[in-house]
């Protein structure tokens, strides 16, 4: 496959790590990156080392609000968004890089460069449910032909993207949604594990995240995670003070266990025809005080084979693999798969499971 | 995706089970099936039940020679080929079905129908290394535009197919090679498990096959498996008498353990850019006397993450999943993925790992 020029919207946790990871992968050239204050563009390829060094530093929530999409720890880095960057003299964030300039219209500036871009990874904080869909609209309106990839996880956002299918097809956009860890890597693993079966009864996705595994850079997201604890929901969690959150974490000795989370794995597996959304459960354990993962991230797919046996295939990630490795690696993997599709004029909205062998 | 009309070449183990399994999957209509003595065609869809009932029966090696491709037990059913069918009155094999007619040119007869076919599963005994490539030539020569899928496993055949890439691209053929269990399902699992890493050091594929798991219908293949035992190779194994083989099985109490097998997983992972072929090892245990699998089929992928951790991700198949379920399910899954590509004019030769997220 020919080289892929890609851009990153958002240089928080996901954006930064995607840039770093891309330097380890063949055929990926980052040509643009932006946050809310600046944009760096180099059609010959950004100097990722310089960009990361210049913008590395204190993790500040700054004037950014929490993004509202952090329904768990597993894809939490998606939501670091534009917040986790350096404040460096007068130029904040990306603008601190020698390759960048300040701007007040960063997304439009990337749209302006999109003729030279094959794929865009959307790693923006999802302030509103429809924020990422509306960003996609701007690319479609500008006549962008290429790939858009996000690592969102809220099930309801998928529907908003689906409504835009015709628009994307007209423009020539291949949109891959939920292409991080869960949904993403683990959704794909479930789709593959299902291949032994003719009927899938249950998909159980269970994740572990420890401090070293990526939580430290994304502390603010515990608020959204709390929404999944017994006795809380998104609204009540949003109203908690920092002190109240700290108290809840203390009450749990720093170890928070989640069940039945709103994760798009369910709708993404259903749209691939693998099982009903209601047969998918997502949960996990987040340890905000220890480096080690408190539990092993595992996908279990239970089904019946054509010859009538009921069994469970499993996919396990090594405990040493960080959340960042499991989000950003697959994001770039799905991005590559999407570019291949886009180049054969295969447009529209796809989830990770649809980029796997069919069911 | 629109419905897929497919044909099966060969109604031995793989062919029969593919037909059966397709009745459990959405959007797959079998319209033609042949063995060396007959062909059944129905553009509205074959009556699979009738076809299987009519041709079910004694497993006879008949006048067929062993196919020479059985380098292990895991994909062994691929090689049942046209042998495992009924001898029914004057009409042998497929011709025993009320939907079929005898023919002396079964493959040409399917080629003649290929305008009405989206995909062909090649489940023929691979008598010579180049037998399947030569079958593909016949489809290309006839101007077939569509998908060809095989479940071969010998590494050297991949090269022969690669040499035909231009020919396939001109004709409009998307050829997916090695789309069974290993290579196939497990190759895909390795490609997915690799996504956590930026460098893959080792892929270890380890399979277990027991009697119930599918060995019983494919006894003849133990000869080729023996080629992988210490002290034997393909040539010496070929020269063994049935009595000598029985003796070897007795010496091992019916449990044969294989290491460093020639499996195309290695070249298929290398061509997807995931690791060097030499970093892939395939082995397993075949128990010809017990129903239960003697070991759990497992893929272990060891690599280093972008943040410097070395770990191993694993994919495990439940012991109750039969070889047939793990060969034929993925074969149809990859077939569906290939049809999608073919319909966007994405032609050429692909292995299973290339149909996964990119690396």
Ranges B108-112, B211-215, B355-359: which has the least confidence: B211-215
What tens digit of pLDDT does each residue of A16-45 get? 999 999 999 999 999 999 998 899 999 999
Q: Does the pLDDT value for residue A127 go beyond 90? A: no
Give the closest of A24, A196, A336 to B198, CB-based: A24
DSSP A143-201: T--EEEEE----HHHHHHHHTTHHHHHHHTEEEE-S-BTTTBHHHHHHHHHGGG-SEEE
A19 and A117 fall within a common domain: yes
Per-residue pLDDT at B78: 34
Q: Quick check: A77 and A17 in contact, CB under 8 A?
A: yes
Do A329 and B189 make contact, defined as CB atoms within 8 angstroms? Answer: no
Q: Catalytic positions of B, please?
A: 153, 224, 228
Tell me if chain B has a CB within 8 Å of the CB of A208.
Answer: no
pLDDT band at A157 (very low <50, low <70, confident <90, very high): confident
Stretch B145-165: mean pLDDT: 91
Do B24 and A306 make contact, defined as CB atoms within 8 angstroms? Answer: yes
Q: Does the pLDDT value for residue A87 go beyond 90? A: no
Per-residue pLDDT at B62: 39
Stretch A111-118: mean pLDDT: 95
pLDDT band at A59 (very low <50, low <70, confident <90, very high): very low
Task: Give me the number of domains chain A comprises.
Answer: 2
B-chain CB neighbours of A319 within 8 Å are: 311
Q: Is the peptide bond before B183 cis (omega within 30 degrees of 0)?
A: yes
Distance from C-alpha of A101 to C-alpha of A303, rounded to nearest angstrom = 54
Q: Which residue has the tokens 């006549």?
A: A143
pLDDT band at A80 (very low <50, low <70, confident <90, very high): very low
- For residue A12, say whether it is annotated as part of any ligand binding site: yes
B18 and B131 fall within a common domain: yes
A217 and A298 fall within a common domain: yes
What tens digit of pLDDT does each residue of A285-296 get? 999 888 899 999
Distances (CA, A) of B186 to A1, A297, B34, B124, B273: 23, 20, 28, 22, 16
Distance from C-alpha of B58 to C-alpha of B86, rounded to nearest angstrom = 6
Per-residue pLDDT at A103: 94
Per-residue pLDDT at B91: 58
Per-residue pLDDT at A71: 34
Q: Quick check: A290 and A264 in contact, CB under 8 A?
A: no
Per-residue pLDDT at B90: 52
Per-residue pLDDT at B220: 57
Min distance B103 CA to chain A CA atoms (Å): 31
- For residue B10, say whether it is annotated as part of any ligand binding site: yes
B256 and B300 fall within a common domain: yes
What tens digit of pLDDT does each residue of B27-66 get? 999 999 999 889 999 999 999 999 999 887 633 333 333 3
Q: What are the strands, taking DSSP E only, across chain A?
A: 4-9, 28-34, 38-41, 87-88, 91-92, 100-102, 119-122, 146-150, 173-176, 199-209, 255-258, 280-287, 298-304, 310-316, 348-350
pLDDT band at A84 (very low <50, low <70, confident <90, very high): very low
Q: pLDDT averaged over chain B? A: 86
Do B20 and A325 make contact, defined as CB atoms within 8 angstroms? Answer: no
Residue A24 annotated in active site: no
Q: pLDDT averaged over chain A? A: 86
Per-residue pLDDT at A85: 45
B43 and B177 fall within a common domain: yes
Tell me if chain B has a CB within 8 Å of the CB of A176.
Answer: no
Per-residue pLDDT at A220: 57
Tell me if chain B has a CB within 8 Å of the CB of A202.
Answer: no
Distance from C-alpha of B205 to C-alpha of B190, rounded to nearest angstrom = 9
Active-site residue, selected from the candidate residues A86, A228, A263, A336: A228
CATH number, domain of A17, equals 3.40.50.720
B196 and B282 fall within a common domain: yes
Tell me if chain A has a CB within 8 Å of the CB of B341.
Answer: yes
pLDDT band at B263 (very low <50, low <70, confident <90, very high): confident
Tell me if chain A has a CB within 8 Å of the CB of B296.
Answer: no
Stretch B81-88: mean pLDDT: 43
Question: What distance lies between CA B235 and its chain's CA centroid?
Answer: 23
> Secondary structure of chain B in the HEC alphabet?
CCCEEEEEECCCHHHHHHHHHHCCCCCEEEEEEECCCEEEECCCCCCHHHHHHHHCCCCCCCCCCCCCCCCCCCCHHHHCHHHCCCEECCEEHHHHCCCEEECCCHHHHHHHCHHHCCEEEECCCCCCCCHHHHHHHHHHHCCCCEEEEECCCCHHHHHHHHCCHHHHHHHCEEEECCCECCCEHHHHHHHHHHHHCCEEEEEEEEEEECHHHHHHHHHHHHHHHHCCCCCCCHHHHHCCCHHHHHHHHHHCCCEEEECCCCCCHHHHHHHCCCCCHHHEEEEEEEECCCCCCCCCCEEEEEEECCCCCEEEEEEECCCCCCHHHHHHHHHHHHHHHHHHHHHCCCCEEECHHHHCCCC
Distance from C-alpha of A295 to C-alpha of A207, rounded to nearest angstrom = 7
Per-residue pLDDT at B185: 97
Do B197 and A317 make contact, defined as CB atoms within 8 angstroms? Answer: no
Q: Does the pLDDT value for residue B13 go beyond 90? A: no
Query: Which two tokens mark A250?
Result: 């203390």
Do B195 and A21 make contact, defined as CB atoms within 8 angstroms? Answer: no
Ranges A60-74, A325-339, B173-187: which has the least confidence: A60-74
Stretch A271-297: mean pLDDT: 94
Mark A3-27 as b/e (b = at least 16 C-beta within 10 Å): ebbbbbbbbbbbbbbbbbbbbebee
Radius of gyration of chain B (CA): 20
Q: Is B205 left (phi over 0), alpha (psi -120 to 50) or beta?
A: beta
Do A316 and B313 make contact, defined as CB atoms within 8 angstroms? Answer: yes
Distances (CA, A) of A57 to A13, A54, A97: 12, 8, 13
Q: Does the pLDDT value for residue A263 go beyond 50? A: yes
Q: Does the pLDDT value for residue B67 go beyond 60? A: no
Do B322 and A330 make contact, defined as CB atoms within 8 angstroms? Answer: no
Per-residue pLDDT at A41: 97
A-chain CB neighbours of B357 within 8 Å are: 188, 330, 333-334, 336-337, 352, 355
Min distance A178 CA to chain B CA atoms (Å): 13
Residue A153 annotated in active site: yes
Tell me if chain A has a CB within 8 Å of the CB of B337.
Answer: yes
B-chain CB neighbours of A335 within 8 Å are: 358
What tens digit of pLDDT does each residue of A305-352 get? 999 999 999 999 999 999 899 999 999 999 999 999 999 999 999 999
Stretch A46-67: mean pLDDT: 65
A212 and A310 fall within a common domain: yes
The partner residues of B280 in beta bridges, in order of sequence, read: B203
Q: Does the pLDDT value for residue B69 go beyond 60? A: no
What tens digit of pLDDT does each residue of B90-102 get? 557 899 999 999 9
- For residue A333, say whether it is annotated as part of any ligand binding site: no
Stretch B243-263: mean pLDDT: 88
Span between the terminal Cα atoms of chain A, in Å: 26
A107 and A200 fall within a common domain: no
Distances (CA, A) of B40 to A47, A88, B33, B98: 61, 74, 5, 9
Q: Quick check: B83 and B60 in contact, CB under 8 A?
A: yes
Per-residue pLDDT at A313: 98
Query: Which two tokens mark B76?
Result: 């062994």
A146 and A190 fall within a common domain: no
Q: Does the pLDDT value for residue B86 go beyond 70? A: no
Per-residue pLDDT at A73: 34
- For residue B220, say whether it is annotated as part of any ligand binding site: yes
Give the closest of B309, B335, B344 to A322, CB-based: B309
Tell me if chain B has a CB within 8 Å of the CB of A314.
Answer: yes
B32 and B138 fall within a common domain: yes
Range of the structural domain that residue A222 is part of: 185-320
CB atoms near residue A243 (< 10 Å): 8
Stretch A65-74: mean pLDDT: 35
Q: Does the pLDDT value for residue A353 go beyond 60? A: yes
Per-residue pLDDT at A243: 85
B82 and B175 fall within a common domain: yes
ipTM over the 0.85 cut-off = yes
A126 and A145 fall within a common domain: yes
| Beta sheet of A199-209, edge-to-edge order | A255-258, A280-287, A199-209, A298-304, A310-316, B310-316, B298-304, B199-209, B280-287, B255-258
Min distance A192 CA to chain B CA atoms (Å): 7
Query: Which two tokens mark A322?
Result: 């960080």
Do A322 and B307 make contact, defined as CB atoms within 8 angstroms? Answer: yes
Q: Which residue has the tokens 């070293």?
A: A212
> A55 or B359, which is more confident?
B359
In terms of residues, how long is chain B? Answer: 359
Per-residue pLDDT at A332: 97
Tell me if chain A has a CB within 8 Å of the CB of B329.
Answer: yes
Per-residue pLDDT at A63: 37
Min distance A312 CA to chain B CA atoms (Å): 5
């Amino acid at each position: 496959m020919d080289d892929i020029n890609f851009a990153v919207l958002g240089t928080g946790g996901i954006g930064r790590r995607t840039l770093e990871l891309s330097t380890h992968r063949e055929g990926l050239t980052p040509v643009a990156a932006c946050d809310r204050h600046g944009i760096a563009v180099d059609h010959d390829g950004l100097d990722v080392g310089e960009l990361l060094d210049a913008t590395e530093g204190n993790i500040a929530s700054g004037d950014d609000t929490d993004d509202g999409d952090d329904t768990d720890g597993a894809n939490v880095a998606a939501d670091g968004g534009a917040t986790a960057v350096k404040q460096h003299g007068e130029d904040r964030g990306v603008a601190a890089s020698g390759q960048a300039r300040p701007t007040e219209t960063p997304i439009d500036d990337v749209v302006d460069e999109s003729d030279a871009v094959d794929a865009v990874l959307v790693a923006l904080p999802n302030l509103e449910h429809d924020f990422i869909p509306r960003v996609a609209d701007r690319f479609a309106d500008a006549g962008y032909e290429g790939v858009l990839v996000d690592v969102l996880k809220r099930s309801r956002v998928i529907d908003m993207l689906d409504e835009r299918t015709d628009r994307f097809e007209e423009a020539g956009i291949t949109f891959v949604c939920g292409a991080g860890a869960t949904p993403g890597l683990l959704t794909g693993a479930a789709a593959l594990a299902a291949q032994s079966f003719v009927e899938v009864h249950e998909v159980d996705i269970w994740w572990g995240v420890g401090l070293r595994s990526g939580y430290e850079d994304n502390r603010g997201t515990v608020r959204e995670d709390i929404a999944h604890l017994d006795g809380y929901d998104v609204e009540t969690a949003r109203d908690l003070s920092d002190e109240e959150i700290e108290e809840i974490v203390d009450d749990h000795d720093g170890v928070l266990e989640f069940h039945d989370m709103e994760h798009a794995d369910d709708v993404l597996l259903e749209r691939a025809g693998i099982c009903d959304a209601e047969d998918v459960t997502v949960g996990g354990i987040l340890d905000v005080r220890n480096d080690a993962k408190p539990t092993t991230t595992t996908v279990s797919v239970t089904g019946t084979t054509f010859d009538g046996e009921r069994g469970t295939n499993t996919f396990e990630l090594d405990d040493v693999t960080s959340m960042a490795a499991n989000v950003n690696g697959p994001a770039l993997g799905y991005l590559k798969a999407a570019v291949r599709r886009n180049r054969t004029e295969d447009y529209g909205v796809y989830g990770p499971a649809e980029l796997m062998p069919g069911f």
